[in-house]
């Protein structure tokens, strides 16, 4: 039986360490602000800088390593990522820390694209959806485990220790990956020019824009779960980390389910996920003042929010191929969803209070559904055509009889 290759699990480890690095600042803001002589908002900008470096620097770095064998390109990205974390760990000023975050962010953005391309190279076509889901588990686990673990390390040994731990883990994962990963030539013939041709497709741009809305819908709400849970739902601050851990567990479970269905029922999975996400976000907005309904709604958002990634990846690969630049560009659109969703959610709080990000998330998910209408119509047409062909095949023998 054809199986998901070991490479997918190795790429998941790489994604895990990079997502952990992306989120590490969120749990260490007070310490870092004191040591670097910066305000909490300025430390918060380090999260935004990382995301923007992923979105804008990731494709640039991908182009820089495209001529390398895929396994060597991954090694180069691990090295750049390690250097960025080392700069961050050793920084004694805000400027040095910002530089470290920009370097690690660019390496992380490129790694997402190159790793998905590498997995597509070594995976049987019928299993690419599930393999992409395995890689994306690194994202779920980075959110569920990476942030709390790095916060614990930083609280016990200082914030620099958390960055050192990320750097050390990067070395271990890079070594294991290089030992186990087969020799891989760059994906696709024609190099950069061939990959750029894929971007001539309006359909590809539309699909990636939908991904931005899907992720923006989730992060508009997720970015403000902690204050909503404490100030609206009435939970104590000590309970919130456990609730967020439950949310992380829901994303792991949802990703497993979506990965199983992403390839065979791509459009249906995305549409169903968006409908459910709208329902959960609206429910959260209406009943955020009630602790039990609030927790149920938050877990529901975890099940059907960022977990749609495997299905989104399948749509992009169907429209633009499996090349590393297309995959990296898609990760850039996803990252822009994080930035846009959290920014609009924050602005909405100033206007309408702490429940506002939940309504913003529901609106963005509804907008994503609207962008899916052409795909829904095309799927319906294909279904009717297939039904007519099946009916014709059944009638043909009867017509042939005397």
The answer as to whether 16 is a domain residue is yes
The answer as to whether 1 is a domain residue is no
Specify the higher pLDDT residue, 212 or 187: 212
DSSP, collapsed to helix, strand or coil, labels residue 388 as helix
Say yes or no: 233 and 160 in one domain: no
The answer as to whether 312 is a domain residue is yes
Specify the higher pLDDT residue, 38 or 90: 90
Average pLDDT over residues 20-24: 85
Condensed to tens digits (0 to 9), the pLDDT of residues 324-356 reads: 888 888 988 998 898 888 888 888 888 888 899
pTM beyond 0.85: the answer is no
* Displacement of CA 211 from its chain's centroid (Å): 10
Say yes or no: 106 and 237 in one domain: no
The answer as to whether 390 is a domain residue is no
Q: Which one of 167, 187, 207 terminates a domain?
A: 187
Say yes or no: 325 and 178 in one domain: no
Q: What is the CATH number of the domain that holds 25?
A: 1.20.1250.20
Residues of the domain holding 206: 198-381
Say yes or no: 135 and 217 in one domain: no
Say yes or no: 148 and 217 in one domain: no
Say yes or no: 257 and 183 in one domain: no
| DSSP-assigned states of every residue in 342-376 | HHHHHHHHHHH-TTHHHHHHHHHHHHHHHHTHHHH
Burial class (CB in 10 A: 0-12, 13-18, 19+), 179: exposed
Whole-angstrom distance, CA of residue 399 vs CA of residue 133: 47
- Say yes or no to pLDDT of 204 above 60: yes
Condensed to tens digits (0 to 9), the pLDDT of residues 290-333 reads: 999 999 999 999 999 889 988 998 899 888 887 888 888 898 89
pLDDT of residue 398: 45
Say yes or no: 207 and 356 in one domain: yes
Whether 249 contacts 273, CB under 8 Å: no
Whole-angstrom distance, CA of residue 104 vs CA of residue 88: 9
- Say yes or no to pLDDT of 286 above 90: yes
- Say yes or no to pLDDT of 190 above 60: no
Condensed to tens digits (0 to 9), the pLDDT of residues 242-265 reads: 888 888 889 889 988 998 888 888
* Displacement of CA 192 from its chain's centroid (Å): 24
The answer as to whether 80 is a domain residue is yes
Say yes or no: 368 and 236 in one domain: yes
- Say yes or no to pLDDT of 220 above 50: yes
Say yes or no: 232 and 265 in one domain: yes
The answer as to whether 399 is a domain residue is no
Q: Which one of 133, 158, 187 terminates a domain?
A: 187
Q: Which one of 135, 156, 187 terminates a domain?
A: 187
pLDDT of residue 402: 32
The answer as to whether 343 is a domain residue is yes
Helices 240-261 and 291-304 pack at an angle, to 10 degrees, of 40
Say yes or no: 247 and 144 in one domain: no
Average pLDDT over residues 92-99: 93
Query: How many structural domains is the chain composed of?
Result: 2
Say yes or no: 124 and 213 in one domain: no
Average pLDDT over residues 358-362: 95
pLDDT of residue 222: 85
Say yes or no: 271 and 139 in one domain: no
The answer as to whether 388 is a domain residue is no
Whole-angstrom distance, CA of residue 73 vs CA of residue 59: 13
């Amino acid at each position: 039986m054809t199986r998901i290759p070991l490479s997918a699990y190795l790429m998941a480890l790489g994604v895990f360490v990079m997502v952990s690095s992306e989120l590490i600042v969120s749990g260490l803001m007070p310490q870092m602000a004191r040591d670097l002589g910066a305000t909490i908002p300025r430390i918060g900008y380090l999260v935004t800088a990382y995301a923007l470096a992923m979105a804008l620097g990731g494709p640039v770095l991908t182009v820089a390593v495209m001529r390398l064998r895929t396994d060597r390109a991954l090694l180069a990205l691990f090295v750049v990522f390690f250097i960025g974390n080392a700069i961050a760990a050793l920084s004694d000023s805000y400027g040095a820390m910002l530089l470290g975050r920009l370097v690690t962010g660019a390496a992380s953005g490129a790694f997402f694209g190159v790793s998905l391309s590498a997995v597509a190279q070594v995976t049987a076509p019928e299993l690419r959806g599930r393999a992409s889901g395995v890689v994306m588990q690194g994202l779920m686990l980075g959110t569920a485990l990476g942030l709390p673990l790095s916060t614990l390390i930083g609280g016990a040994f200082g914030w620099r220790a958390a960055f050192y731990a990320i750097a050390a883990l990067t070395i271990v994962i890079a070594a294991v990956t290089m030992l186990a990963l087969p020799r891989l030539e760059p994906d696709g013939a024609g190099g950069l020019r061939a990959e750029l041709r894929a971007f001539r497709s309006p359909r590809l741009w539309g699909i990636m824009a939908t991904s931005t809305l899907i992720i923006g819908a989730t992060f508009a709400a997720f970015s403000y779960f902690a204050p909503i849970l404490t100030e609206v739902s009435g939970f104590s601050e000590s309970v919130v980390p456990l609730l967020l851990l439950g949310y992380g567990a829901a994303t792991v479970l949802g990703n497993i389910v979506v990965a199983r269905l992403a390839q065979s029922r791509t459009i249906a999975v995305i549409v169903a996920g968006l409908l459910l996400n709208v329902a959960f976000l609206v429910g959260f907005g209406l009943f955020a003042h009630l602790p039990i309904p609030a927790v149920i709604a938050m877990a529901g958002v975890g099940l059907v929010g960022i977990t749609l990634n495997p299905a989104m990846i399948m749509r992009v690969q169907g429209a633009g191929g499996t090349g590393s630049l297309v995959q990296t560009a898609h990760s850039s659109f996803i990252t822009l969803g994080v930035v846009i969703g959290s920014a609009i959610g924050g602005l909405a709080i100033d206007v309408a209070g702490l429940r506002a990000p939940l309504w913003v998330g529901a609106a963005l998910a509804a907008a994503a559904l609207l962008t899916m209408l052409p795909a829904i119509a095309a799927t319906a047409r294909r279904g009717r055509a297939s039904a007519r062909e099946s009916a014709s095949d059944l009638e043909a023998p009867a017509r042939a009889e005397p």
